[in-house]
Amino acid sequence: MRTIVSDRLLLRPWRDEDVDFLLDLESRWEVVRFLGAQPTIMNNRETALASIARRRAIGDPIHGIWVITTAMGGRLVGNLLLKPVPLSAGEPIGGTPEVEIGWHLHPDAWGHGYATEAAAAVLADAFSRGLTRVIAVTDPANHASQAVCRRLGMTHLGQTTKYYDTSNELFEIGT
């Protein structure tokens, strides 16, 4: 998986030595509360290491799951993903899977524009590699992520239950 650089950030593949950060990040309810239909907190290093291995295993020229770090100092601040979005149970499977972008950041990194900057860099990279459309799905109560979607220029398409077995706000952006 490639590294993507923006003005203030570097998005790189996850490494085993990031385990303590990932455990800290995803053991916080305020971080994971909007992730999927049944969010759960991470509670041990073994689970974090297994999650890092899954993130690194994505072998696609466009998709990926990156750790977001500051370019100056290399401080780890969050997670950004670009991958096929899972359909809800009972949704018809067919055609090309839709690709979603998503993020979650450590509370210490909230309010600095990192999610918007990281997502914009990944979108620019993905579009330059031939992707033509990306969606984002957010929990209806996740107003911060919805604001990021709007800052990215994404169009709000309304509510959907098509993904993650729950109701989400759906956004899209294309080339």
Look at residue 4 and tell me whether its pLDDT is greater than 90.
yes
pTM of the entire predicted model: 0.94
Q: Sheet harboring 76-84: ordered strands across? A: 4-5, 9-13, 64-70, 76-84, 99-105, 133-138, 168-174, 155-160
Contact 138, 168 (CB under 8 A): yes
Residue 55 region by backbone torsions, left for phi larger than 0, else alpha for psi between -120 and 50, else beta: alpha
Q: What is the pLDDT of residues 55-95, one digit of tens each?
A: 999 888 899 999 999 999 999 999 999 999 999 999 988 88
What's the pLDDT at 15?
Answer: 97
Contact 159, 146 (CB under 8 A): no
Nearest to 160 by CA among 84, 81, 88, 80: 88
What's the pLDDT at 59?
Answer: 82
Look at residue 113 and tell me whether its pLDDT is greater than 90.
yes
Quick one: pLDDT band at residue 37, thresholds 50, 70, 90?
confident
Decide which of 3.10.20.30, 3.90.1010.10, 3.40.630.30, 3.40.190.10 is the CATH code for 4-174: 3.40.630.30
What's the pLDDT at 41?
Answer: 97
Helix (H, G, I), strand (E, B) or coil at 149: helix
State the DSSP H helix or E strand holding residue 83, giving kind and residue range, or none if neither.
strand 76-84
Nearest to 134 by CA among 72, 83, 65: 83
